[in-house]
Amino acid sequence: MPTYAIGDLQGCHTSLLRLLDELKFDPAADRLWFVGDLVNRGPDSLEVLRFVKNMGNAAISVLGNHDLHLLALAEGFGRAHKGDTLDAILAAPDRDELLAWLRRQKLAWREGNVLMVHAGVLPGWTADDTMQRAAEAEAALQGAHYRDFFAQMYGNAPVAWDANLQGIERLRVIVNAFTRLRYCSAEGEMEFHHKGAPGTQPAGWLPWFEVPGRKSADATFVIGHWSTLGLINRPELIALDTGCLWGGKLTAVRLEDRQVFAVQCPQMQRHDR
């Protein structure tokens, strides 16, 4: 039963269908892992959400920052951004069903030694810690008071993990690491402003997966989120955001043998937006 991990879709439904044709995908036998950001900025976020939801157990998706942005907007929190393409979902007749399904998705998924998150994990977390932190935030997202979380979700602080954190500050650090992290300091302080490829960042910041002594280094991570990083297919890291939205490619990696599949995508957004 092959498993294909697929990069950020962001509403690019046609590209997904073309990639699945390339994979000769069989929903009765194959499985798909989506690295998050199913929606936003692309042209067909509603169709993508319906498609992945209807795949049932054949698909696993973790939550990305754009998915959480949709959920917050739907509850009346945050503000729409230039380039958002979420109106069709918010106006859809099956909106509530789709959003309830999305809110139940995981922040981290692990099978064996392979661990999928949208963006990254903090260097002080082991793989077990990662799953425990994810479960904390998932409980808040799926619990009766989930609107309280969305009311306070946005923000960069605190910038580092502390086991003594409580309440929304604890949850915000967890969610920011899983859905927004690219660079951090050797001590685990997160930096959210620089989005360029490694080598272009300011002094003192490291890609999260290159921090010396990172406690989750014994796991293989599957991530998206970082389009300027491009495809990485190393023993310890599979990075899959290859910029479909920006006219790059939509990429899949078959986890069993690391074979790469990709389709070229039309440009849907400009990088300066």
pTM of the model: 0.97
What are 7-43's pLDDT values in tens digits?
Answer: 999 999 999 999 999 999 999 999 999 999 999 999 9
Q: Report the pLDDT value the prediction gives residue 270, as an integer from 0 to 100.
A: 63
For residue 199, pLDDT beyond 70: yes
From CA 170, how far away is CA 57, in angstroms rounded? 31
**pLDDT single digits (tens) 231-248:** 999 999 999 999 999 999
Tokens of residue 217, six digits:
């280094």
The predicted pLDDT at position 271 comes to 55
CATH topology for the 3-264 domain: Purple Acid Phosphatase; chain A, domain 2 (3.60.21)
* Rounded Cα gap, residues 32 and 256, in angstroms: 12
* Tokens representing residue 258 in the block: 């690391």
Predicted pLDDT at 273: 39
> Tell me, what's the pLDDT at 240?
98
Q: What is the pLDDT of residue 22?
A: 97
- Nearest CA to 209 out of 182, 178, 233, 229 is that of 182
| Residue 1 burial (CB count, 10 A) | 9
Mean per-residue pLDDT of the chain: 96
Measuring CA to CA, which residue among 90, 88, 91, 133 is closest to residue 110? 133
236 CB burial (10 A radius; 0-12, 13-18, 19+):
middle
Tokens describing residue 159: 């910038």
Domain residue extents for the chain: 3-264
What is the DSSP secondary structure assignment for residue 202, as one 8-state letter?
Answer: P
Q: What is the number of other CB atoms lying within 10 angstroms of the CB of residue 96?
A: 10
